[in-house]
Structure 1
Amino acid sequence: MSDDEDSAPAPKKGRVFYGSLEEKERERLNAEIAGSLSTGSDGVKAGIEAGHINISSAETLELEDHVNERQQEALAEFERRRRARQITVSTDDTEVKAGLRALGEPITLFGEGPADRRERLRGILSVVGPDALKKSRRDEERAKRSHEECHQTWYHEGPASLKDARLWLARYSLPRSMKRLEAARALKEICEATRTIRQQELNKSLRNLNNFCSQIGDDRPISFCHFSPDSKMLATASWSGLCKLWSVPDCNLIRTLRGHNTNVGAVVFRPQAGVSLAQSDVSLASCAADGSVKLWNLLSDEPVVSIDDHSERVSRLCWHPSGRFLGSTCYDHSWRLWDMEVQEEILHQEGHSKGVHDLHFHPDGSLAATGYHLATGSGDNTCKVWELRNRKCLYTIPAHHNLLSGVRFQPTDGNFLLTCAYDNMAKVWSHPGWMPLKTLAGHEGKVMGVDVSPDGKLIATCSYDRTFKLWVSE
């Protein structure tokens, strides 16, 4: 060992040199560490001599570990700042916000400007690494491509029976459409004053609606009600699994339909049931939460046909105006069309992102919807009226204080609209104008369904309180 090496002073305890740090930061760090060691040691000695710190002869107080932790934290912070200075961040504020969003961070903070936001993104990237943003963007692009693939238009070949059914539907609906348009033109020829008087008379009648009858229909909530085509019967569905037929307006029980083992979502009369159909013909259809669909006649309390092709809850059923086809909506994100003449499923239409809750056919029979004004009820407590000709929302009715469970236009002319909701009420709205005409209050639970008799004389509501009510105008 040389004389120079012997005479070289020993480095102070705890002093560390890191060539990767800038010279000034390195000197300041070493001075801070050395000062901490010196201050700590001198303070402990003074405390012992003054008698404030009592240490037995066999114990020593080491500050080395604590100082090393502080040293590592300080070095880690300096290293993070060094990495942050090397990260390139866009000066475009839109890109900065997109980067923060991709990392799951708020795109802006209170009082934060573009420069502060840019530095915040730089600081986050210095911790998680710049590759984290690239990974987030790759994941976002992958999710976007997957979404587009799931929602792209696709085609598959249908059965020959579907083609035959569509031709049959065209021949059925086109003459009916012509008659409807002729009636609309004839109505337009009537002077506006006369039309206004008629609408006012109807509105006055609706404002005088009162509860005519209230009947306990089951020992479980009643989920659906539907009038027969001749307006002489009312069918109700219950969560008990039972469907019941009642005479109206006296509300006497005619028959109990037994076949479902779980919550029944809907029971609907077939067009012309009780009018031109024989009692032995299929006159009703019902569906349940177990995916079953059952067909009934008016003579037996047992189903005549069971359809078990659905894998999930079937929420609603609707007969085509012709009575030949039956539509069903399912929580497997699809709806199906059944041809009763050939007794098979002819259409299984997918594409919805969630369960399909309801379905209705145009009176002409050409569309799976209501008239050119389509009413929809939602969990946002509103009813929206849509203009199908230009596919836009015509009006939003702030209808209720809870989610809507049903909407129904007057079946003949659509002169008024009914809504019901989980706020225990049903309401009557004018059409056009969408003015509130009457609130049908009286149920002690959620109103689950509403219907209008084909002759327009009766309105029925059914509820979670296990009752159904009939409303008439005095």
Structure 2
Amino acid sequence: MADSGDKSHIYYGAIQLEGLQDRGKADKDQDIDKDEGEDILMEDAAAGAAAGGGEEGEHEMELSEAAQESIAKHQRTMQAFSQQQRAKAIAAPTQDMDVRKMLRQLGEPITLFGEGPGERRQRLKELLAKMEEEDPDALTALLGQHLAPPPPASALPAAGGQSISKPPSALVPGAAAREPVVPTSIEEQTSVFYTEGSDALKQARIKIAQYSVPAAASRLRRERLLRSKLDPLEYEESLRDYQTHLQSFSVSVSQVGDDRPLTGGSFAPNDEYLATCSWAGLVKLWRLPSCDAAWTFRCHTDRLHGVAWHPAYKGGTEGGRAPANIHIASGGADMKVMLWRVPEDGHEPGTVAEPAHTLEGHEDRINRVAFHPSGLYVGSTSHDLTWRLWDIHTRQELLLQEGHARGVYPICFHPDGSLAVTGDLGGAIWVWDMRTGKTVLPLKGHVKQVLSIDFNPRGCFELATASDDHTVRIWDLRKRKSVHTLLAHTKLVSDCKYEPRRGRFLLTSSYDCFAKLWHPTDWKCSKTLAGHEARIMAADISNSGSMIATVSFDRTWKLWTTAGEWTGMDIEHLVD
């Protein structure tokens, strides 16, 4: 191997040092020329830009129409996003009636086709955000008219060591003023608050507790006695035989109820009458079992949606027909609850033109009415997002309960009188403690409006709810969840009722023109009642369980009866 001197590489084969050195020098010169060329181009571009650019500079800096449109679209998106952020920060009213008033004041339509309360409030907030950008002072003045500042926390007593603020609007009963309040500090937003109720409400809660505690104790004693004397297998066999008996239900009478569609029907506690209500604004009483028209109550000026009997009604002329002689409650689109007296026996059937009392306070149509089991109070639900409790003796509104985000539709009281359950047109169900005013729990599961609620009298811990999602859900209040879902009908389920005595079957009615009877444990359909030509609006079961009434949009109501009396095991004699 030849000596390469200071070279750091070892070459194999022929060594041509001079050729290799010439090739390396040429490559190095080429790299230098390339770098210098790039520097010259960059200097020329910078000089062209500084001088305003020639033809070629202008061609490089000009944006295409697509790029300009993309930039404009991005700017519009960012502007809309900024406006949405401002809208979120604005304290707009939460009550739908207040939202409508503010929209009217702004000169905007109070409602658009197909627009719900939530969408309407969002539209208002977007208008206020735009107004804030254009004229902040006008926005401040407008909000000052609708949103009152909260009173100082020192005006209220402390509870549990925490400061208490008192906004007029709260989910706790007894609110007198209901305008929303703008929180002024984080402490105020997180502090405990309540709305002080009236003394009449306090006394009503005490009376409800005094009624419900003994009623619950009596029911539990009865259940324990039945459990000790009743063989479960024997009871299940009897229940199966009873489902066979239900298959004998058939139409006994079909009666035209009114000139306009019927909306509700309810049996009297003694099965003497059936009360129906209609879009004509009339409540009619039909004598059973002949189904002859007995009395017509005429005073409502708009469509009726609910009718209910006082639980203590006994009929006849004997005393104790009902406290304060109130027998029927009705409510409708005229925003009034009317209390009626049934004329005593001996009077010729006819028309009653004046109610015993009229209860006013709702701000939108009334959907349902129901008497408390104690017979001292009546509850009503409304499209104004509230349900209310009234004293039938003093005709005073004891409770205005907020909390629902959509119109409140069904209401049902626990048989002991301790709880109230309400549902709304958004699918939400709330359970309320009547003795404390607290929300016990929400029941979530329905995806559309809830239209009917009923307690199972056996155990009183089971709850059935009917919905526009074509299902009936069975809830166990002990487990705080839905334990069964009935795919009951092919259209909206309008009503659901348990057999009043022992809950031996569940009745459902629907807009698919059918009513169905269901086994209460395995939830098989025992009988389908077909005969109406239009959607069934409501249904009810007599206290004896031997009669069923269905009222329909076809203006007729039908009475369904069994072929004979039930001759199987009657568990009632075990506790008599």
> What secondary structure does 2:419 align onto?
coil
Q: Which residue of 1 aligns with 2:424?
A: none
Q: Does 1:169 align with 2:205?
A: no
Distance 1:277 1:437, change over 3 A: same
Distance 1:145 1:443, change over 3 A: closer
Distance 1:240 1:137, change over 3 A: same
Unaligned runs of 5+ residues in structure 2 are 1-46, 95-117, 119-166, 173-192, 344-350, 422-454, 564-576
Q: Which residue of 2 aligns with 1:183?
A: 222
Shift of 1:78: 4.7
Q: Does 1:248 align with 2:288?
A: yes
Q: Which residue of 1 aligns with 2:275?
A: 235
Shift of 1:169: 0.9
> What secondary structure does 2:420 align onto?
coil
Q: Which residue of 2 aligns with 1:128?
A: 76
Shift of 1:389: 2.2
Q: Which residue of 1 aligns with 2:432?
A: none
Shift of 1:259: 0.9
Q: Which residue of 2 aligns with 1:345?
A: 397
Match of 1:325 among 366, 371, 377: 377
Distance 1:143 1:391, change over 3 A: farther
Q: Which residue of 2 aligns with 1:13?
A: none
> What secondary structure does 1:358 align onto?
strand
Q: 1:52-131 to 2 correspondence within 5 Å?
A: 75-78=64-67, 125=74, 128=76, 130=78
Distance 1:152 1:170, change over 3 A: closer
Q: Which residue of 1 aligns with 2:562?
A: 473
Q: Distance in 2 between matches of 1:202 and 1:29?
A: 93
For the aligned residues, what is the CA RMSD?
A: 3.1
Q: Distance in 2 between matches of 1:427 and 1:435?
A: 10
Q: Distance in 1 between matches of 2:314 and 2:77?
A: 74
Q: Does 1:296 align with 2:340?
A: yes
Match of 1:453 among 542, 545, 560: 542
Q: Which residue of 1 aligns with 2:32?
A: none
Q: Distance in 2 between matches of 1:185 and 1:433?
A: 23
Q: Distance in 1 between matches of 2:499 and 2:336?
A: 29
Shift of 1:208: 2.2
Match of 1:286 among 330, 344, 351: 330
Q: Which residue of 2 aligns with 1:373?
A: 462
Q: Distance in 2 between matches of 1:240 and 1:234?
A: 17
Q: 1:286-435 to 2 correspondence within 5 Å?
A: 286-299=330-343, 301-302=352-353, 303-369=355-421, 370=455, 371-435=460-524
> What secondary structure does 1:267 align onto?
strand
> What is the identity, as a one-letter code, of the residue corresponding to 1:350?
E
> What secondary structure does 2:410 align onto?
coil
> What is the identity, as a one-letter code, of the residue corresponding to 2:417?
G
Q: Which residue of 2 aligns with 1:62?
A: none
Q: Distance in 2 between matches of 1:145 and 1:258?
A: 38
Shift of 1:28: 9.5
Shift of 1:79: 5.5
Q: Which residue of 2 aligns with 1:9?
A: none
Q: Does 1:436 align with 2:479?
A: no
Task: Report percent identity of matched pairs.
Answer: 36
> What is the identity, as a one-letter code, of the residue corresponding to 1:179?
S
Q: Which residue of 1 aligns with 2:237?
A: 197
Distance 1:168 1:124, change over 3 A: same
Q: Distance in 1 between matches of 2:79 and 2:297?
A: 64
Distance 1:80 1:157, change over 3 A: same
Q: Which residue of 1 aligns with 2:152?
A: none
Shift of 1:413: 1.8
Q: Distance in 2 between matches of 1:287 and 1:252?
A: 24
Shift of 1:124: 6.2
- Number of residue pairs the alignment of both structures matches: 374
Shift of 1:128: 3.4
- 8 Å CA contact 2:170–2:195 kept in 1: the answer is no
> What is the identity, as a one-letter code, of the residue corresponding to 1:332?
D
Q: Which residue of 1 aligns with 2:320?
A: 277
- 8 Å CA contact 2:357–2:395 kept in 1: the answer is no
Once the two structures are superposed, what CA deviation does each residue of 1:60-117 show, in whole Å capped at 9, x if it has no partner?
A: xxxxxxxxxxx98x53445678x7xxxxxxxxxxxxxxxxxxxxxxxxxxxxxxxxxx
> What secondary structure does 1:359 align onto?
strand
Distance 1:282 1:80, change over 3 A: closer
Unaligned runs of 5+ residues in structure 1 are 1-16, 32-70, 84-122
Match of 1:225 among 265, 268, 271: 265
> What is the identity, as a one-letter code, of the residue corresponding to 2:332?
A
Shift of 1:386: 1.5
TM-score, L = length of structure 1: 0.72
- 8 Å CA contact 1:415–1:432 kept in 2: the answer is no
> What is the identity, as a one-letter code, of the residue corresponding to 1:238?
S
Distance 1:199 1:421, change over 3 A: same
